[in-house]
Amino acid sequence: MTKVSPPRSRRAANDPERRDKIIAAARQTIARLGVADTTHRRIAETAGLPLGSLTYYFSGLDEIIAAAFEQLAEEVSGRFLAVMAAAANREAAREALVSYLCDDAPDKSDDMIVIYELYAYASRRTLLKTIMLNWMAASRRALEQHFSPEEARALDAMIEGITIHNATNPKLLDRADIARIVETLTR
């Protein structure tokens, strides 16, 4: 994945975890308010940090949002890769994919909201678009451990569609529906 490098500091950071606090606060703010209403001030308030401290770690709001998106992409890609890698065979991979899509952990719902906020935002920003495209490619590579490239592309599109629908209406597709779709796409 493309890395967003922190800008050179004007002075040494006195809190090495502050950058991570800012990124976490950005994700929380985006989940709560959306990208359009995410500001430096709201991120600083969420992080419990002085507003001016954000400029020691990031050159601007776009860079903070890019770092939040990159972190989320790495986390979600890592979890998905682990799920696919743990599957012993094609049938186990189908079941693992269905389980992954049906997981309704509370933090997954916030992640889904942030993902779709950031997808829309990234569509018009080159750096974020690169991060998003790399993320999609990583998902397809994870799927290609058990499925053909054509199946992986179809499954990747299906995953995006199902997560969009189920993020807004968890009862839209149940486990049996998702299993049938996965089976159809991987015959």
90-102 vs 61-86: helix axis angle to the nearest 10? 140
pLDDT for residue 83: 96
| Residue at 54: amino acid letter | L
Is residue 106 within 8 Å of 152, Cβ to Cβ? no
pLDDT for residue 80: 94
Instruction: Please give the radius of gyration of the chain, using alpha carbons only, rounded to the nearest integer.
Output: 18
- Helix, strand, coil percentages for the chain (3-state, nearest 5): 75, 0, 25
Q: What is the DSSP letter of 17?
A: T
Among candidate residues 20, 38, 170, 47, the one with its CA nearest the CA of residue 102: 170
**Residue 7: which pLDDT band, with cuts at 50, 70 and 90?**
low
* In the predicted structure, residue 5 carries a pLDDT above the cut 60: no
Distance separating alpha carbons of residues 75 and 185, to the nearest angstrom: 26
Q: pLDDT averaged over the chain?
A: 87
> Model pTM?
0.81
